[in-house]
Amino acid sequence: MEIADCWLFGQIPIWLMSLTNLELIDLSENNINGKIPGWLQYLPNLFYLDLGDNLLSGGLPVELTRLPALASHQVLDQVKNDNFELPVFLVPLNASNWQYNCPASFRPTLNLSYNNLSGDIPVEIGNMKSIQVLDLSNNYFSGTIPSSISNLTNLEILELSHNLLSGEIPTSLTILNFLSDFNVSYNNLQGSVPTGRQFNTFSNQSYEGNPRLCGPPMQKSCSKRSDPSSPPSGHKKGLCWIILTWVVGLTGSEVF
């Protein structure tokens, strides 16, 4: 179902739940408001969900991470072996019509970009093991980047830019061998930028707008600080000796 850029408004209608054969939903570039309904998890064949560029609010419902076709390679393979009854036509920017005749032409996708979503990204996002495109950019997501995203071993695009995310970038993300597009720019991230494998190919544009990030490809180097957890040996003893000496001088008696 592709109804993008049609000036739709209101909330996502619950009658969609009865369309159990739906494989693709594209409601992007409309004026849809309200929260993302958790009942979307009951669409067993849905593997492509694009709700980008709307007025959606609230959080990312945990139920969404349980979409069967995005959580199971076996279910996804069964869905992609089908053919559309009617071809799907898309009109990309500055391009002619693109015709799709089978689900296999689409990458498993969750696009919630350009909305008013907030709260933490649930750790259960790591359950969507079939997903290839995850775009949560241009929202108000806060908290840390879940390390469970490293479970998404088929992931090719991870867009988390323009949010309120904090903490460090999980080094476990370096195991995502198919990741070709990674963007966490304009958040509140800090610490060292992960290195190795695909992360050696990402430019500083993937990280800009995070002044507390350091290390290549950022211009800011990571400073090495000494461990402040314990003072040098003998420091506490010397301090106690000074205090005892003062007490002895004050009382005129010996202290044992």
Question: Is residue 138 a contact partner of residue 111, using CB atoms and an 8 Å limit?
Answer: no
pLDDT tens, residue order, the chain (256 aa): 777 778 888 999 999 999 998 889 999 999 999 999 999 999 999 999 999 999 999 999 999 999 999 998 877 777 766 655 545 555 444 444 555 555 566 789 999 999 999 999 999 999 999 999 999 999 999 999 999 999 999 999 999 999 999 999 999 999 999 999 999 999 999 999 999 889 999 999 999 999 999 999 998 899 865 444 444 444 443 443 333 333 334 444 444 3
Domains delineated in the chain: 9-158 (3.80.10.10)
pTM, to two decimals: 0.81
